[in-house]
Amino acid sequence: MKRKRYEMEKKKKTEIQTAIEELSVFIVTKPADKTEATHIPLRPILSFCSLIIQVLDKIGPTMAVLRQDIDQNIQRLEKFCETDSCVYSNLAEILKKEKEEGTSKMVASCSRALFWLTRTMDFTAGLLRLLSKEMSSKMEELVEECYMTTLKPHHGWIASAAFKVCLKLVPDNKTFMEAIGARDESYDNLREDIDTLSSLLTPILKEIYFVLEQYGLSRLRSM
């Protein structure tokens, strides 16, 4: 019975492996007519962010604030998409509509929600890359290093102060490794999965940042 349970656990996909499957079929379509919006599918982005939430849930209540922020942004975009799923399944169409309405930089806009989800994905990808190279380093150090390059430039003093508090609640290496699916002490399989995910996510983030830049949303800041 124990062996059977072990085999089932072995076959069960981790969040990283699930993300790899979903992002491996992610396609960005650039129209021949430059007046039309680039097509970047929204659903895979929201699915990936939901997987980040699942990892945070495994880590525990210390990540509750970050989890809530990601979840609220996902829900905001899902709700907007449901108003016309054929059109707004393309995230660029959401940015286009809000820019035309003059609402894109409002606090509760979908454009702002997408901006922060993209930054969260960038932070996650950067953290995993650092972890892959320096698995013996303390998680707190890796998180801070990644934060300085991905989130800090867009945080005001309130958000920066909140991060300093959260930094003290970062789990130890073992807890985090288990949360993202480590199954052996050498972490060889985990490292391979991280590198694969990174290779898929990097060009996707590049495309999203390009579209955010087009709509004047690349330099938003929090309080």
pLDDT class of 223 with cuts at 50, 70, 90 = low
Lookup: tokens for 14: 């981790």
**Tens of pLDDT, residues 34-84:** 667 789 999 999 999 999 888 888 777 767 777 888 999 999 999 999 999
Q: Which pLDDT value is given to residue 184?
A: 67
CA pair distance 151, 149, nearest whole angstrom: 6
Residue scoring higher pLDDT (25 or 32)? 25
For the stretch 152-180, pLDDT in tens is 888 888 878 888 888 888 888 888 888 88
Q: Is pLDDT of 185 > 90?
A: no
Q: Which two tokens stand for residue 9?
A: 């656990």
The yes-or-no verdict on residue 5 having pLDDT over 70 is no
Is the pTM higher than 0.95? no
Across the range 185-207, mean pLDDT stands at 88
Tell me which amino acid residue 83 is. Answer: T
The one-character DSSP state at 62 is: G
Q: Please give the Cα distance from 12 to 9 (Å, whole number).
A: 5
Is the pLDDT at 98 greater than 90? The verdict is: yes
pLDDT > 90? residue 100 = yes
The 3-state DSSP class for residue 138 equals coil
Is the confidence at residue 189, as pLDDT, over 90? no
Query: Is the distance from CB of 165 to CB of 64 less than 8 angstroms?
Result: no
11 or 199: which leads in pLDDT = 199
- Give the bridge partners for 99, in sequence order: none
Q: What span, in angstroms and rounded, lies between the C-alpha atoms of 106 and 176?
A: 35
Helix residue ranges, H only, the chain: 2-11, 15-23, 42-59, 64-81, 85-88, 91-101, 110-133, 139-150, 157-167, 173-179, 188-214
Q: Which domains, and CATH codes, for the chain? A: 40-214 (1.10.3520.10)
- Convert 96-107 to b/e letters by CB count within 10 Å (16 or more is b): bbbbeeeebeee
